[in-house]
Structure 1
């Protein structure tokens, strides 16, 4: 299952909830303000680092650029809208609000 997170970890618990319910191997897509969970330093950096062994993480490039984020964890794969569509086509989706 693809887990999509669109809320900032600074003001919402969706990142934590997604990690608790995601099964090993489930990909996680960070979009909109959810991309802040992919930062190398920040409130979710340790949780992200621990989760990288079980999940592939993706961040939507348009949202990364729109927010000026330059410090994504290097393991977070930056994808465009075509990559987003491919993930959605390949997996059932759960969006964490």
Structure 2
């Protein structure tokens, strides 16, 4: 499954709430304000780092760039690569 997370962990509990639904081999992509999770060192980044052996982690490059951030956890992907991720996974779940 591909999990798409959109909200900053500093404004909503979306990331924490979604963790219960992650399974080994799932992928998660952070878009919009959620990209901050992969771009800084804070408690949410540590939680994500602990999950990374079981998950593939991505951040949307355009959203990182729009916020002046750089990805330090996972892999940056472009919009076309994001589309390829959605095609590669039979199921997707968007978390607002």
**What TM-score does the superposition give when structure 1 sets the normalisation length?**
0.91
Report runs of 4+ in structure 1 exceeding 4 Å deviation: none
Given that 1:9 and 1:43 are in contact with CA atoms closer than 8 Å, whether structure 2 keeps it comes out as no
Shift of 1:90: 1.3
- Give the 5 Å matches for 1:10-21: 10-21=10-21
User: Which residue in the other structure is 2:76 paired with?
Assistant: 78
Q: Distance in 2 between matches of 1:40 and 1:63?
A: 14
- Give the 5 Å matches for 1:61-76: 61-70=61-70, 72-73=71-72, 75-76=73-74
- Give the 5 Å matches for 1:1-97: 1-70=1-70, 72-73=71-72, 75-91=73-89, 92-97=91-96
Unaligned runs of 5+ in 1: none
**What TM-score does the superposition give when structure 2 sets the normalisation length?**
0.92
Shift of 1:40: 4.0
- Post-superposition CA distance 1:52-74 (Å, at most 9, x none): 1110100000000000113x32x
Greater shift in the superposed pair: 31-40 or 20-29: 31-40
Partner of 1:83: helix, strand, or coil? helix
Shift of 1:42: 2.0
Root mean square deviation of aligned Cα: 1.1
Q: How many residues align?
A: 95
Unaligned runs of 5+ in 2: none
